[in-house]
Amino acid sequence: MSLAATLAWTVVPGGSPAFADEENARENAQKRDAWAAHRLLPGRWEIEIDGRLGQGTGNRHYEFIFNDQFLIGRHASIRLPQEQSPEGDYHRELSIYSFDSERDTIVLRQFIVEGYVLQFTCDTEPMRIVCETESIENGTGMAARMTLEFANPYRFSEVFELASPGEELQVYFKNTFTRMPSLED
């Protein structure tokens, strides 16, 4: 919704907010449709990690916030010391998805514990999300692609590809996610 439309909210009798015009309602309907594939993500996930730095385990939690305007993902994973990673690794990241109505696309910003900030645009299909970097803060000239492929609502894979300046994208890791049971259901 545009800033002007946001400021044009009115209150109808009974105190509930309403849109000032139908165009804004259509804009919101388009936004809801843009989130369709991402609606599979909310919840807690266990992760099996396999990549250039070895194997590991982790967990990720997704939730929509601010009236479904943003999708937040929090990630923590551990790789114990092994040949590819002699010291092991404790990795954390924060992902924030939003809908850019001016570009009619989902934008992902990932904040990585090592100090990188990646900004992606995402293309979606019913059971697939592909995000390509627009920029990588503190990674000049690098590029990345992240692909989430859902087998069903309880399992998906994530392939992360990375390229150094002037190089082609190469698979950096592949994670397998399994939904953790919820105690709230």
**Res 22: pLDDT:** 59
**Res 32: pLDDT:** 54
Could you report the average pLDDT of every consecutive run of 10 residues in the chain (185 residues)? 41 46 56 82 96 92 96 95 86 97 95 96 95 94 97 97 95 96 76
**Res 3: pLDDT:** 41
Q: In the numeric block, which tokens belong to residue 157?
A: 């894979």
**Res 8: pLDDT:** 39
Domains of the chain: 3-33 (no CATH), 35-179 (2.40.128.20)
**Res 11: pLDDT:** 41
Strand 105-112 to strand 89-100: parallel, antiparallel, or no bridges (unpaired)? antiparallel
CB 79 within 8 A of CB 92: no
**Res 26: pLDDT:** 54
pTM of the entire structure?
0.80
Q: In the numeric block, which tokens belong to residue 147?
A: 């692909």
CB 91 within 8 A of CB 75: yes
**Res 28: pLDDT:** 58
Q: How far is it, in rounded angstroms, from Cα 147 to Cα 123?
A: 10
**Res 97: pLDDT:** 98
**Res 9: pLDDT:** 39
**Res 106: pLDDT:** 96
3-state secondary structure 93-155: EEEEEEEECCCCEEEEEEEECCCCEEEEEEEEECCEEEEEEEEEECCCCCEEEEEEEEEECCE
